[in-house]
A = this chain, B = another copy of it.
Amino acid sequence: MKERYTLPKIFSLDFWKIIFRGASQVMFQENWCGGVLIIAGIFWGSYYSGFPSVAWGAIVGVIVSTLTGYILKLSPEDGDMGLWGYNGILVGCAMPTFLGETLLMWLTLILFAAASTWILVGMNRVFKKFKVTAYTFPFVLLTIFILLATRVMHGLPAPYLSVPELPGPFSSELDTTFKSLATYWLKGISQVFLINSAITGIIFIFALWICNRWAAFWACLSSAIALGVAILLECDSHYIANGLFGFSPVLTGIAVGCTFYNVNWRTTIYAVLAVVTTVYIQAAMDTIAVPWGLPTLTTPFCITTWLFMLPQLKLNSCTKI
């Protein structure tokens, strides 16, 4: 048992399964086949849009953060489940998405992917006291720090960040043909890994289908609900069209709808309310981020899921009103 976690053997098949499980854990799955598909989806989306470094960042991020778990000899149970890697892979996707591809970017990516592993341990020591976990918050916090830092670092240029400004006017005129709506809906799923591609969205749905059919169902349903609510509330059309109102609700839906609760009609209502709430909190976070030109990453998902899971409501038991 102990030997299994020593360095000589880690580049074995078991190691790679753990790596791929890390990719699947972003969507609360523990299935290396699903992880392979997810990484395939990331490669497709990033190469197709001309940003191959996003895919390679994902690979570096998940390997570095998983290796860090081995080196620090953290709980092997967590490692086996892929919990060392899911923040690292997101750090690895985010950095080349917003930052210019320089040596310093890669070094920063490695440092923060590694840090995401022990910071998750620390945060979970806090959150587990309240029977929730940190979700993707280590990724969110570290990436926001790096993106903010680039504003005063010429050595770490961030050409793909927005310009800092005050909240102002925006357009909510949207192309609502069926084909466009389907694209927005699929991009809402692909944006979980910061990928802006309908094809990748389809691959991700398929990946979830392999892992857990309810998870695939909730991803589809949540992205659709979020799209509908965002259109109803006439949100910024640029955000809607790129799936940026979808990815946090997708994660909230999978988390509340079929991961932390069993599926029944009560938990379904509760999860739908959580998904709708995530759209509002997404809009709120978009507004907060404007003066620094930042993305929200998965903050809306983290906040909403904490707000809905902290009460520890007993919704699984059969009760009559």
Minimum CB–CB distance from A113 to chain B (whole Å) comes to: 12
Q: A284 — which chain B residues lie within 8 A by C-beta?
A: 144-146, 148-149
Q: Which of B112, B119, B273, B310 contacts A311 (CB 8 A)?
A: B119
How far does the alpha carbon of A321 sit from the alpha carbon of B156 in the complex, in Å? 33
Determine the residue in chain B with the shortest Cβ distance to A126: B130
Q: Given the complex of chains A and B, what is the CA–CA distance between A229 and B221 in angstroms?
A: 46
Interface residues of A in 266-321 (CB under 8 A from B): 273, 276-277, 280-281, 283-288, 290-293, 306-313, 319, 321
Please state the number of chain copies in the assembly: 3
Beyond A156-B233, A313-B72, A321-B6, is A287–B151 a contact (Cβ under 8 Å)?
yes
User: 5 tightest A-B contacts by CB?
Assistant: A122-B310, A149-B283, A154-B234, A148-B284, A122-B311
**Nearest CB of B to A162, in Å:** 11
Which of A82-90, A163-171, A183-191 participates in binding chain B? A163-171
The tally of residues in A whose CB lies under 8 Å from a CB in B reads: 70
A111-B276, A122-B312, A154-B235 given; name 5 further pairs at CB < 8 Å: A115-B277, A125-B311, A151-B167, A151-B290, A288-B292
Assess whether A1 is interfacial by the CB under 8 Å rule: no
Contact A234 B311 (CB under 8 A): no
